[in-house]
Amino acid sequence: MKKHTVSAVAGFLAAAIALCALCAGEVLLARFMRREPLPTSASETEVESRYCVVIDAGHGGIDSGAVGASGVLEKDINLAVARKLEALCAAAGIDCVMTRSEDRLVVDDSVRERRKMHDLKNRIAIAKAEESPIFVSIHMNNFPEKRYSGLQVWYSKNDERSRSLAALIQTYARTFLDPSNSREIKRAGSSIFVLDRLDVPAVLVECGFLSNPDECERLASDSYQTELALVIFSGILEFLADA
Ligand SMILES: [Zn+2]
């Protein structure tokens, strides 16, 4: 079994430094460095993690996902946030794998029919190929009414740890992105295929609403995408510290 040791604090600092190097997010970094102290289990102990974080950028290729008011495509924002999350995990020494790193469906070109279903099954297969995966799917929300906004995390009913991971990410989003975000985590039903078919810690993060013009503009910005990645990363890190 592949195991490695992750110090939560060292991991956080390494990732924060990497973040600075990546995007010069000094204001953001200052905010995060003023954060509540990590729980004792995370701040004073070395955490042995055998998990691999499977980062799933939703949609891709011919499947654009939602289209924002400005014409921005969900698939592109999903991938941008996923790449930043990958960089943070790598900087912290946490194993991670991407279901896709390019603008494409996760399906072989030779497959002609039901490509979207094969795409979803392949994403699940990538997670199941890992010995101890944590599945984190990244999406943007969309709704006919423009007024709705805010990040919301869905969790798989098949593994009770999914709820904990979702709650951590939701709490970090409320603390660091928008204290007025009153959204609660939600248990996914069968309509969210990937969460329904995985029996490992699995969440889907709806990062915000592309149908809300103000939030759409934020979601499309590089700096906000970095904040999203850091919020998700912080949830993962605390989850690993307690695992
Ligand atoms: Zn989506």
Domains in the chain with CATH codes: 4-242 (3.40.630.40)
Which residues, by Cβ under 5 Å, contact ligand 1, an ion? 58, 65, 139
Residue 19 has pLDDT above 60, yes or no: no
Q: Give residue 243's pLDDT.
A: 82
For residue 11, the CA-to-ligand 1 centroid distance in Å is 29
Strands (E), 41-163: 46-49, 52-57, 96-98, 133-141, 152-155
Residue predicted with more confidence, 13 or 138: 138
The two beta strands, 152-155 and 202-209, are antiparallel
If you average pLDDT over residues 110-135, what whole number do you get? Answer: 96
Label residue 1 by pLDDT band (50, 70, 90). very low
Q: What is the mean pLDDT of the chain?
A: 87
- Predicted pLDDT at 171: 98
**Mean pLDDT, rounded, for 155-168:** 98
Q: How far is the CA of 74 from the centre of ligand 1 (A)?
A: 7
State residue 44's pLDDT score: 42
User: What is the average per-residue pLDDT within 6-12?
Assistant: 49
Contact 186, 120 (CB under 8 A): no
Selected residue with higher pLDDT from 160 and 40: 160
Distance 75 CA to ligand 1 centre (A): 7
Residue 58 Cα to ligand 1 middle (Å): 6
Distance CA 89, CA 108 (A): 27
The answer to whether residue 209 scores a pLDDT higher than 70 is: yes
pLDDT in tens, 184-198: 999 999 999 999 999
Answer yes or no: is pLDDT of 106 > 80: yes
Q: What is the pLDDT of residue 25?
A: 42
- pLDDT at position 172 is 97
Report CA 127 to chain centroid distance, whole Å: 14
Q: What is the pLDDT of residue 69?
A: 82
Nearest to 240 by CA among 24, 27, 12, 64: 12
CB of 204 within 8 A of CB of 139?
Answer: yes
Q: What is the mean pLDDT of residues 168-176?
A: 97
Q: How far is the CA of 65 from the centre of ligand 1 (A)?
A: 5
pLDDT tens-place string over residues 42-89 = 444 444 568 999 999 999 999 999 999 889 999 999 999 999 999 999
Q: pTM score > 0.75 for this model?
A: yes
Compute, in angstroms, the gap from residue 139 CA to the centroid of ligand 1. Answer: 4
Cα 55 to Cα 43: distance, rounded to the nearest angstrom? 25
How far lies 160's CA from each of 110, 155, 164, in Å? 37, 9, 7
